[in-house]
Structure 1
Amino acid sequence: MLVPKHRENDWIFTTEAGHLQLLLSTPEISRLILIGNLPNGDINVGTLYKRSLEKCPSYREMLERSLYPLLMALLPKEIAQLGNCQVPFLSYEDNVISSVVLERCTGICVGEMLVEDVEIEGSRRELRRRLRFKRMPNLIQTEICIVPIGVDDTRLDSLCIEGVEFNPDLRKLVHPYLAPMVAGLSLIGGYLQECLKSMVRPRGLCIGVGGGALLSFLSLQLGFEVVGIEADEVVLRIAKQYFGLQVSNSIQLCVGDGIEILKKVALIDSGNESNSLVADNVGKDFFKNNFELFGSKFLFIMVDLDSSDSRMGISAPALEFVQKDVLLAAKSSLSEHGTLILNVIPPNRSFYDMLIHELQEVFEDLHEIDCGNEENFVLIASKTTVSIDLGVADNSFLRNLKSVISGRYVDCIRKI
C-alpha cells in the first residue's frame, strides 16, 4: 500500500494499531507492506497536511516496476516458488483534502488523542472538526461541521484552513450513525408528543460522550434533557473547548465508567445495593453527589461505546456492554415506554447475531436501521411493544424530527 505523500506521520501509518486496522479492513489480504517517505517527526499542534495534486501514471508504473523485485523477495517461499506472482498495489484514499492539528493531548483512559480541522471532498467546500484516538487512529470518534468566523460565502472558496478560527455548527449531525440513532426515537414518537404537550421535557442518558455532538443536538434541536457519562475527563474538556458542548440545565455530565454506573443505578433502584456485581469504584458517595442525575428513570438510553481493543478491529458496542446483567440494568433504568438505542459496528455476522439474540432475550421489541455506509447499524430495543407509525400530520414531534434529520432514516426502520 502506498502511503499518501505528506501523511507519513499520521498515526494510521506509524502505529501498530493503525497497521492492524488497515489489515483488518482488507480481509482478503494476509500480508500488507506500507511504502512511503520516512516519517519526518511526530504530529504536533499546527501540523498541516495538504493532499498532493501530483498524479502521474508513468511515475506510478515506474515505481511499481522498481519495487517489484523487493516485494517478490518478501513473499512467503511457498508462494514465490510458484512463479508469475502478482503483487497488487493499493493506494490509501480517504476524503481528506487538507487538515491542521489543533491539539494533541493524553487522557487517563483513552490515551493520546488529536483534535484537527479538516477539509473533505464534496460538491462544495466542507469543513469539519474531528477527534481521533491513537489507540484506534482509523476511527473518527467525533466529527462536527465548523463555520469560519468573519468569512462570508463569497470568500469561502479561497479560504485556507490553517490560521482561521471556526465556530462549531451544532444544528446538524454529520457522523454517519448519529442521525439514525436519533431517528430511533420515532418509535416512541407518540409518547414523546404527549410529553411535549404536557410541557414535560423528555430525559435521556448518553453513555459515551466523545465530543458531545449527540448531546448538543438532542438539547438544541429537540429540546431534551440529557445526561452524558464519559470515562475520561480530558475528553470532556476537549468536548467543551473545541466541540461546543456546554453544561446547562438541559445538558449534565458525569465522569465515570458508564457500564458500572448503569449497573449501580439499576441495583439502587431495586433496593439491592450490596450486590457483588457492582464495581467498588462506584459506591454510595457517587450517588449522593449525583442523585439529581440518576434519581429518576430515563426515557431513552443511547450507547456509543466502541471496543478499546484494536486487535478486534473497529467494533461497537464494547463486549462488556453485551452482557445480560448490563442489558437488564439498562432495561431497569428506563421508564415504562423507554428504549435503548445502540450504535453497532459488527466485526462479523456472528457478533451481530449474538447481539440481536441477547437483546431479544431482555427486551420486548427490537428494530434495526441500516446506516447505509456498509459499516454501522443502529439497534433500537424497547421495553414495550411499539409500532412503526410514520404519520406526521398530527404529531409535532415527528414533524420536527424529520425536519432536523433525514426522514429516510425514519422510513427505513425495520422490525427484527
Structure 2
Amino acid sequence: MGDNALPNRSFKEQRFWDEFLVARDGLPFEWYAQWSDLFPLLERHCGLNPQLSPLPAVLIPGCGNSELSSAMYDHGFTNITNIDFSRSVIMEMMRRNIRDRPMMFWKVMDMTEMQFSNDSFDYILDKGALDAVLGQADEDHASGKRFLSEVKRVLRPLGKYACITLAESHVIGLLLSTFRHGWQVAVYQVPIAQASSKLKPLLFAATKETTSNLSLISYNLSSDLHAQNIAAIEKENALRRRGPEFRDFEKLQPSRRSVLTLGGTFKAIVLDAKIGQAVTPDACAVFLVPKAKAHEWLYSSEEGQWQVVESAKAARLIMVYLETDCQTATELQNLLSPLVRELVPLDCDSGVPFLLPHDGVCKGTLLEEIDSPLTGTMLVEDVVSSDKKKAFFRRLFFKRNPNLIQSEALLTPTNGFRRVGSKKKNKHGKETAAQRRQNTTDEMKVDHSYLASPYHEGMVAGLSLIATKIESCVSSKEQIRVMIVGLGAGLLPMFLYKHFPFNSIEVVELDPVVADLAKRHFGFVEDDRMQLRLGDGLAAVDAIAKQEMEEQANSENTRHKLHILLIDADSSDPSNGLSCPPEEFLLETFLRSAKAALEPEGILVINVVSRAREPHIQADQRMCKIFSEVYSLQVDEDVNRVVFGLPQPSNLRDSTAIFNAGVLLKKVAGQFASWDKGPNVKDVLKKIKRIK
C-alpha cells in the first residue's frame, strides 16, 4: 500500500468513488492497514474469532474495493455484509467474489441511513469509513454523526464497533463524545508491518453494554506518536471522573435550575433550557455576571435568568457571578474554565463560549463621568453607529441601570461640517477631559428635530389620542399645559418644544446634576415656554390634584390642570423588575392624582420598562381601574411599553379614527415646525392597542 495513493478530494461524493475505481482500473485499495495487521489486534481486544459459535454477524460499512472482507471470509468469517453507496463498486465486488465467497452479502446502501433493523450485527468493522464521511475539520459533520447513530442502532447488545481511524482531532472528539453512557471504550495503536508507511492509525473499540454506566476509557498509545490523542482521552476521562456532586450534571434535564459554588468562591446557577425554548441542542455556554449587575432583576430573579437562557439559545447556561469587575475576559476564562468543565454536559460536543452582558453599541468617546448623591455615577458618551451611514450619537447612561440607555441624541455637525485641526490642547499637546468635552461640543450639536429612542417616538405619536383637543386649543389660542416627570437628557421636552405650539412645558427633575448635564451636553434650554423644576414628580402632580379639588370645593374655576402628563423617569431600584418608572408611579394613589390633575380631555402617558411580566400586568390592571380608556404600545418585545390613559371616553371608535387623529396631529405640528425627522406617526399608531 503506497501512501501517495490515498484520495485527497471530497470523500463524501459518490461520483468521486466511481471515478476513483475507474482510475485504479479495479485494483483494490487498502486504507491504513492490511487484514494481517488488524486481525491480531481485533482478536486480542475485540474477541473476534472464527471459532465463535454461531459465527458473528459482521458489517463492513463503506467497503469500497478493499480486500478486507474477502481476507476475513477466507479466515473463516463467512457471515459478512458489505455496504457502499457506489453501485459500480458493489457490482464490481460482487462479480469478483460471488463464485469463491458465495455466502458474503453485498448491498448498495448509504451508511448514514442503513436499511437494517435494530440489533442486527455483532461486529461493525469500520476501516476509514468514519474518516471519509467526516472529511476535514472545517466541513459539516452531520453525516458523521448520522453514521455513528446508525452504528449504535444496528449493533446488538455486547456487540463491538471497531473503528480504524487516523484519529484527527475532530474525529477522535466525535468518537469520544458519542460513545459515553452504556459503552466500554478502549483505544490502541495499529501496528503497521510496512515500515515505510507514514500513517499511524488507531483502533477505537467500543462495546455496547446492557447498562447505561459511564466508564473510563482505557488506552495503550505511544506518548511520542499520539500525544494529542492521549490529551483528548485524558480530558474526556477527567469529565467522566467528575465528583459525586457533579454527576447529576452529566445529562441535560429540561427546566432544571441549580445553585452551587465553584472553587469555593464563585456563585453559579446552572439552567437547563425549558421544553419548547428555541435553543441549539447540546449547546452549553458560560454567562459571566459582573458584580455591578448582579443585583439587577435580569440576573437576580429566576424569571430574568430564564430570559437570559432563551436569549443565549443554550441548552445549558452556566451563570457565574463574579466577585470583582477588574479582571479581563481572558483572565476570567482561564480562571473559570477548569471549574465549569465539571458542569458541561457530556453530550456537548462543541466549544463552550464565555458570554458577557453587552448593549450592542459601538463605543466612542467618553465625554464625562460624574457622580450624583441621588442618581449615582452617570456617563456621557459619543458613539458612532455600526452601519454604513456612520451616524453620530450622544448617550446618557446611569450606572445604576447600565442595561438601559437613559437618553440618546442624534449629533449633527455645527454649520454643516466638522472642524478639523482646531482642537484646543494643553501645553503638552494633549487634550484634558474638560478640553475634550469643549472640543466635541464645538464640533457637534444635538439635533432636537429627531428622536432616537423608539419609546420617545411612541410617547409623541400617542398624543394623537387627544389630537382633536390639541387642535381645538390651538384654534382658540387656549394655553396647552404639559408636564414631564423625568428630564434625562431633555430630549423629549426639547422635541415637544421645537415641534408643538405648547405654551407651557414644565419638566420636573429630582436631581440637579442631571439637569446640569442636560444643559451642558444635550442643549436643553429654559425660557418662557420651557420651565425646569427641581423636585419630586409625585409631589408635583399631587399638588395640582389637591389644588384642583380645593378650588372645586370653593366653586372656583381652575386654570392649572394639565392637558398632557408624561412620566419618563427611571427606577433607582431595578431589583423589583421595573427599570422605568419608579414603582410609585404605577400605584393607584398616584394614578388617581394624575387623573385629577388632568383636563377631562387630557392624557397620561407612562413609559414602562420591565423584563418581568407581572409589572406590565399590574400597570394595565390599575390603569384600567382608574381611567375611562387605556391604550398600550409595545416598543421592545415584552420589555418596553408605553401606556396611555384618557380620563373620559373619546370618539376614537376604531383604528381608522386613530389613524385620522394621527393625520390631524401632524397637521397641527406641521403648522408650527417641520416634521421631516419626526416619528412615522402612521406606523406607530398601527401598533397601538386599546385595552379598555
- The question of a shared fold, defined as TM-score above 0.5 by the shorter chain, is answered with yes
SS of equivalent residue, structure 1 residue 116: strand
TM-score (norm 2): 0.46
SS of equivalent residue, structure 1 residue 338: strand
Aligned residue for 1:32? 320
| Alpha carbons of structure 1 residues 206 and 18: separation in structure 2 relative to 1, 3 Å | farther
Match of 2:453 among 171, 175, 186: 175
Match of 1:142 among 397, 407, 410: 407
Return the alpha-carbon distance in structure 1 between the equivalents of residues 620 and 355 of structure 2: 35
Match of 1:256 among 514, 532, 535: 535
1:368-407 alignment runs, 5 A limit: 368-372=632-636, 374-386=638-650, 387=652, 388-391=657-660, 395=664, 397-398=666-667, 400=669, 404-407=678-681
Does the Cα contact within 8 Å between 2:467 and 2:665 map onto a contact in 1? Answer: no
| Number of matched pairs | 354
The Cα of 1:91 is off from its aligned counterpart by: 5.7
1:301-380 alignment runs, 5 A limit: 301-313=565-577, 315-372=579-636, 374-380=638-644
Deviations 1:197-249 (A, max 9, x none): 11234221101111110100111111223110000011111111111110011
SS of equivalent residue, structure 1 residue 315: strand
Does the Cα contact within 8 Å between 2:544 and 2:561 map onto a contact in 1? Answer: no
Does the Cα contact within 8 Å between 1:299 and 1:335 map onto a contact in 2? Answer: yes
The Cα of 1:263 is off from its aligned counterpart by: 1.7
Asked if 1:190 corresponds to 2:483, the answer is no
The Cα of 1:298 is off from its aligned counterpart by: 0.6
The Cα of 1:331 is off from its aligned counterpart by: 0.4
The Cα of 1:366 is off from its aligned counterpart by: 0.3
State the one-letter code of the partner of 2:293.
A
**5+ long unaligned stretches in structure 1:** 1-11, 41-59, 156-160, 273-293
SS of equivalent residue, structure 2 residue 560: coil
Aligned residue for 1:73? 339
Does the Cα contact within 8 Å between 1:189 and 1:398 map onto a contact in 2? Answer: no
| Alpha carbons of structure 1 residues 414 and 37: separation in structure 2 relative to 1, 3 Å | closer
Deviations 1:90-149 (A, max 9, x none): 365544333111122222311121111111222301111111112112211111111133
Does the Cα contact within 8 Å between 1:392 and 1:398 map onto a contact in 2? Answer: no
Return the alpha-carbon distance in structure 1 between the equivalents of residues 530 and 333 of structure 2: 55
Aligned residue for 1:158? none
Return the alpha-carbon distance in structure 1 between the equivalents of residues 680 and 491 of structure 2: 17
Does the Cα contact within 8 Å between 2:541 and 2:593 map onto a contact in 1? Answer: yes
Match of 2:482 among 179, 186, 204: 204
Asked if 1:108 corresponds to 2:373, the answer is yes
| Alpha carbons of structure 1 residues 126 and 268: separation in structure 2 relative to 1, 3 Å | same
Of stretches 213-222 and 145-154 in structure 1, the one that deviates more from structure 2 is 145-154
Of stretches 377-386 and 316-325 in structure 1, the one that deviates more from structure 2 is 316-325
| Root-mean-square deviation over aligned CA pairs | 3.5
State the one-letter code of the partner of 2:308.
P
Structure showing greater radius of gyration is 2
State the one-letter code of the partner of 2:320.
L
Return the alpha-carbon distance in structure 1 between the equivalents of residues 463 and 450 of structure 2: 16
State the one-letter code of the partner of 1:123.
K
Does the Cα contact within 8 Å between 2:451 and 2:495 map onto a contact in 1? Answer: yes
Return the alpha-carbon distance in structure 1 between the equivalents of residues 662 and 325 of structure 2: 59
The Cα of 1:177 is off from its aligned counterpart by: 0.3
Aligned residue for 1:9? none
Aligned residue for 2:521? 242
Aligned residue for 1:411? 686
The Cα of 1:186 is off from its aligned counterpart by: 0.3
SS of equivalent residue, structure 2 residue 406: strand
Match of 1:17 among 281, 293, 298: 293
Does the Cα contact within 8 Å between 1:207 and 1:304 map onto a contact in 2? Answer: yes
| Alpha carbons of structure 1 residues 125 and 36: separation in structure 2 relative to 1, 3 Å | farther
SS of equivalent residue, structure 1 residue 321: helix
